[in-house]
Structure 1
Amino acid sequence: MVEQSSPKLDAAYAALADPTRRAILDALRPGEVRVTDLARRFPVSLNAVSKHVRILERAGLVRREVRGRNHFLTANTDALVPARDWIDNYRTFWEVRADALVDHLAATLVPRETSVNHP
């Protein structure tokens, strides 16, 4: 079961690979946040947070709206759909395999009580 690479999927997983970027997405879950307010939550510079945000934007995971001098961010959870679908595909694959293994073991293993005759 080999899947072709998708640029959206690759970008989403690359963006999610970093714990700071995952924390940024978590911080955006409740709603819109100004970039400067977001940056205060992290022990790195505003410039470093901005770089992380740009990676999330390129992956489509974050949207930015500029109002005057303020930049507001919101999470775009729809961009996670390809990543979720990819995982779900493999979850189904492994669940079927696990069910087949259980069936095989149930059919081939002899229960202990009946296989050993002790007085």
Structure 2
Amino acid sequence: MTFATLSALAEPNRFNIVELLRDCGALTVGEIAQKLGLRLPQSSKHLHVLAEAGLVNVQIDANRRIYSLCPTPLIEMNHWLETFTQIKEEQFDRLEQLLKKVQESENVQNNG
């Protein structure tokens, strides 16, 4: 996962483009602009940034550019995020063990 991935997704229009490509599959610049209510130059600029970050692939068909989602950077980001999930799960496991010890201690005191 790179800073470029996070940086590219931080801009709302680019994030929306990634979601649109995820949901709709490959689209031309014009289709993306129309579906998101963007101007063509604005869409092209955002798609260029996404391509530089490796988030989209572009296929040139005559005078059309067709963009599709490239999942690799998103998969890498997901793996990175999972490390934080793992840390939280380990913390919850330790908390659960501590609570069990406290309950056992209270049971011993109450029955003793």
Q: Please tell me the TM-score bracket, short chain as reference.
A: 0.7 to 0.9
Q: TM-score, normalised by structure 2?
A: 0.83
- Establish whether residue 10 from structure 1 lines up as the match of residue 3 from structure 2: yes
- Establish whether residue 104 from structure 1 lines up as the match of residue 93 from structure 2: no
Q: TM-score, normalised by structure 1?
A: 0.79
Deviation (angstroms), 1:35: 0.7
- Establish whether residue 74 from structure 1 lines up as the match of residue 68 from structure 2: yes
Deviations 1:35-93 (A, max 9, x none): 11111112332111111111110110101111111010000012212211110111111
Distance 1:109 1:53 in 2: 57
Could you tell me which amino acid in structure 1 is paired with residue 2 of structure 2?
L
Kindly report which structure 2 residues correspond to 1:37-52, keeping only aligned pairs within 5 A, or say none: 37-52=31-46
Structure 1 regions of 5+ residues with no counterpart?
A: 1-7
Distance 1:57 1:19 in 2: 16
**What secondary structure is seen at the aligned counterpart in 2 of 1:60?**
coil
Structure having the larger proportion of residues in helix? 2
**What secondary structure is seen at the aligned counterpart in 1 of 2:68?**
strand
Structure 2 regions of 5+ residues with no counterpart?
A: none
C-alpha root-mean-square deviation of aligned residues, in Å?
A: 2.3
% identical equivalent positions: 25
